[in-house]
Amino acid sequence: MVLEVRNITKRYGGITALKDISFSIRQGEVYGLIGPNGAGKTTMFNCITNFVEPTSGEVYFKGENITGLKPYKITERGICRTYQNIRLFPQMTVLQNVMVGGHSRLSSGVFKRVFRMKSQKHEEKRLMERAKELLELVGLGQMEKLFAENLSYGQQRRLEIARALAASPTLLLLDEPAAGMNETETENLYELIKKIQSMGVTILIIEYDMSLVMRLCDRIAVLNFGEKLAEGTPEEIQNDPAVIEAYLGKEEEETIA
Ligand SMILES: Nc1ncnc2c1ncn2[C@@H]1O[C@H](COP(=O)(O)OP(=O)(O)OP(=O)(O)O)[C@@H](O)[C@H]1O
């Protein structure tokens, strides 16, 4: 298993955002995390990356307990993420944004390196080549010199993915990557995620676009009010009565059929 989430509970005061959640992700899988607003999906990402500390429970990555490690240490081990609310450096170029991602395994020196200190030129060149490759991969090869703020929303989401990949993750966490995308952009995103999977990267994805989730994911967990309601293949999830009732409900026919 690449990732094992064991009995994670997260409380915020009186709110139990996650209640005793366990699941495991196999090498090479695309694993989906779905559920209504407030179900606890982003909180789960935050617990895995230790952006917030779980109240109880443990996270194992490649067999090692990573619970409580500093977020940058977790990145160093090979878990990278994108955010629900895009977090780019808007006034840095597209290329620089990806290069920053390449430095995220280091705890310091990020800006020094991006702004070309002499002694680091060789490493920087390597990073730049890698960043350019990644921009080609996500379809932004022609846009490296633009400021990130000048990209469309869909392009910014792809740039976030390139930046996360720059640290060469084993496990990539994608938080609503299709949010705000039109049909064509979503289709391109599907192709991109499949390509990333074929490169051997394991993927955990939070997403509301059910047609994308059902096509993309090998397995899915459904969260509802902080509890794990179901887990299975897309087919199993679509036919699970508890899921249909609690989550998909009225939308079932148009969303899932
Ligand atoms: N920092 C926080 N302080 C207090 N409560 C929080 C905090 N973060 C999340 N919560 C609460 O925890 C619950 C789960 O939120 P979370 O954002 O993880 O849900 P989600 O499934 O990601 O929803 P969405 O898709 O709307 O982002 C919600 O009730 C939310 O209000």
Residue 226 has pLDDT above 90, yes or no: yes
Portion of the chain with pLDDT greater than 70, in percent: 89
Residue 67 Cβ contacting ligand 1 at under 6 Å: no
Nearest CA to ligand 1 atom 1: 12
Residue 221 Cβ contacting ligand 1 at under 6 Å: no
SS3 4: strand
Q: Put residue 110 in one of left, alpha, beta given phi > 0 → left and psi -120 to 50 → alpha.
A: alpha
pLDDT at 122: 75
Residue 36 Cβ contacting ligand 1 at under 6 Å: no
Ligand 1 pocket test: pick from 42, 47, 228 the residue with the most ligand atoms within 8 Å of its Cβ: 42
| pLDDT classification of 205: cutoffs 50, 70, 90 | very high
**232 within 8 A of 219, measured Cβ to Cβ:** yes
Q: Which two three-digit tokens encode residue 255?
A: 């969303």
pLDDT at 180: 87
The backbone torsions φ and ψ at residue 96, rounded to the nearest 5 degrees and listed phi first, read: -60, -40
Higher pLDDT, 170 or 252: 170
- Domain(s) of CATH 3.40.50.300: residues in the chain: 1-78+169-257
Higher pLDDT, 116 or 150: 150
Residue 47 has pLDDT above 50, yes or no: yes
Kindly give the distance from the C-alpha atom of residue 43 to the centroid of ligand 1, in angstroms, as a whole number. Answer: 6
Residue 129 has pLDDT above 80, yes or no: yes
The mean pLDDT of the chain is: 90
The whole-model pTM stands at 0.89
Nearest CA to ligand 1 atom 10: 17
Residue 38 Cβ contacting ligand 1 at under 6 Å: yes
Residue 40 Cβ contacting ligand 1 at under 6 Å: yes
Rounded mean pLDDT, 204-224: 96
**113 within 8 A of 124, measured Cβ to Cβ:** yes
Q: At what angle do helices 153-165 and 121-137 cross, to 10 degrees?
A: 130
42 CA closest ligand 1 atom index:
22
**231 within 8 A of 222, measured Cβ to Cβ:** yes
**What pLDDT digit, counting tens, does each position of 64-81 carry?**
999 999 999 999 999 999
Nearest CA to ligand 1 atom 31: 38
Nearest to 171 by CA among 219, 216, 203, 134: 203
Kindly give the distance from the C-alpha atom of residue 90 to the centroid of ligand 1, in angstroms, as a whole number. Answer: 26
pLDDT at 106: 46
Rounded mean pLDDT, 188-200: 97
Q: Which two three-digit tokens encode residue 140?
A: 């932004």
Distance CA 254, CA 82 (A): 29
Residue 127 has pLDDT above 70, yes or no: yes
**135 within 8 A of 94, measured Cβ to Cβ:** yes
Higher pLDDT, 4 or 251: 4
CA distances from residue 120 to 101, 111, 124, 127, 167 in whole angstroms, order as listed: 16, 12, 6, 10, 17
* Homologous superfamily, domain 1-78+169-257: P-loop containing nucleotide triphosphate hydrolases (3.40.50.300)
**What pLDDT digit, counting tens, does each position of 141-186 carry?**
999 999 999 999 889 999 999 999 999 999 999 999 999 899 999 9
pLDDT at 84: 82
